Amino acid sequence: MGQKKTDSPVSDESAIRNYPRLLKRYRRLLEITSDLASTLDLTSLLNHIVEAARELTECEEASLLLYDPQSEHLIFKAATNRSLDQFEHIAVPIDNSVAGWIFTRHEPLVVADVLNDSRFFQDVDIVTDFRTRSILGVPLLTKDKTIGVIEVINRSKGVFQPDDILLLQSLAAQAAIAIENSRLFQQSDLISEMVHELRTPLASLLAASHLMRRSDLPDEQRNRIGETVFSEANRLNEMTTDFLELARLESGRVRFQPEPVHLEGLIHECLEIIRMQAETKGIQLETSIDHSIAPVHGDRSQLKRLLLNLLTNAIKYNREDGEISVSLCEVDGMIELDVSDSGIGIPDGDINHIFERFYRVPSHAGKTSGTGLGLAIAERIARGHFGKIRVRSKLGEGSTFTLILPRQTPQS
């Protein structure tokens, strides 16, 4: 008859000795999850999650990746002790990566020695000049899908233990709910902003329609009101179109269709589209293009929308008989596309806000019309191509918007 297996006295003593420390960690987890539930700003929330992950698992670093349906990659959204700028051009493939394995299988994973694991995606260490030795990762699971992954790197002492996995899973469960709540809050916030913005043109239309019903209205005034109705109806049409596009971009419903895009050809195509609009204001169009630039991998129609938004803005905020210059070059392995104008410029205090939804520079009020969504859309398209838009401006002298794209975006 076999002897029943029992735990050794050493393991019993170890468990008893470690119990107060484990209890303290779970108490801290409860405090953290309570804080997560009350945080609705997504950036603050994600930063809070990775700091909590590092603290609870006692590791060197932690990061959080969310799935991007546009590129079908995992994208870094938060990381401890490192600027996210270091990660912004790194897209982690679903295939052949530790994070991708966790994401697709919806289960935690410990890799004790990453250099001996074929799933380890080394690009992150190369870019950040960091040495990963071990990884513990868990999926961010919601009721009906996996939205991303939390990874903790290099336990400070010893190796990752079962308790570390349980703590990180518990954190991830609450984090996933908090992230989805934050996204829903952002969507409702966007809708409320849209309703607010619609009120002005709707009020103009209501007032105009009321006046046009008067039988004693002079023909000249009736014609002016008719022009107002047309202008405001057109504004409503543009606003709703831009709003729907922005909502689709922010929700991830837009699926980019990547293909080789010859930027020089795209620039000339967009310049022809806006040429008549520019000539109406006497604006000269100039180009300075490095003809050796190879095609980038991206969604041509979305990049066209982005460039047209920048060019249209350059016309709106330019002076009569001004200039617009478009240049294309390669700098430090990145493609840079500049759209420069000789317009009124942007005050320093407003530059950090111009990519916000419906934001209009106060000093520009009344000088031009628009939906206030063009730059927000352009910025999100750039981000969807693992790029960004940089702005330089000087009051009275003009602005330069620079689209920065990786020479080759990551592929599956």
Q: Which residues contact 276 (CB under 8 A, 6 or more apart)?
A: none
Give me the mean pLDDT over the 375-385 stretch. Answer: 90
Q: What is the rounded CA–CA span in Å between residue 169 and residue 159?
A: 17
- The one-letter amino acid at 329: C
The residue ranking higher by pLDDT, 270 or 205, is: 270
pLDDT of residue 20: 72
pLDDT at 199: 75
Quick one: which of 295, 326, 296 has its CA closest to 312? 326
Q: Is the pLDDT of residue 225 over 70?
A: yes
Instruction: Give alpha helix (H) positions in 106-161.
Output: 123-128
pLDDT of residue 188: 66
- Specify the pLDDT at position 329: 95
Of residues 314 and 252, which shows the higher confidence score?
Answer: 314
pLDDT attached to residue 247: 76
Given pLDDT bands bounded at 50, 70 and 90, which one contains residue 410? low
Q: Which of 7, 16, 64, 14 is nearest to 36 (CA)?
A: 64
Q: Position 251: which residue type? A: S
C-alpha–C-alpha distance, residues 154 and 150, integer Å = 14
Tokens found for residue 163: 């308790």
Residue spans of alpha helices (H) in 81-218: 98-105, 123-128, 162-212
* Average pLDDT of the chain, as a whole number: 84
**pLDDT confidence of residue 6:** 39
Spans of all domains in the chain? 9-184, 257-412
Q: Do domains 9-184 and 257-412 have the same CATH topology?
A: no
CB 354, CB 361: distance < 8 Å: yes
Q: Assign domain 9-184 to a CATH class.
A: alpha beta
Chain-centroid distance, C-alpha 21: 39
Q: What is the arithmetic mean of pLDDT over 22-50?
A: 81
pTM of the entire predicted model: 0.59
Q: Which segment of 4-13, 38-47, 73-82, 130-139 scores lowest on mean pLDDT?
A: 4-13
Domain 257-412 has CATH 3.30.565.10: yes
Q: Which residue has the higher pLDDT, 283 or 41?
A: 283
Higher pLDDT, 128 or 369: 128
Give per-residue pLDDT as tens, 85-98. 666 667 888 988 99
182's CB contacts (< 8 A; 6+ apart) are: 39, 40, 41, 42, 45
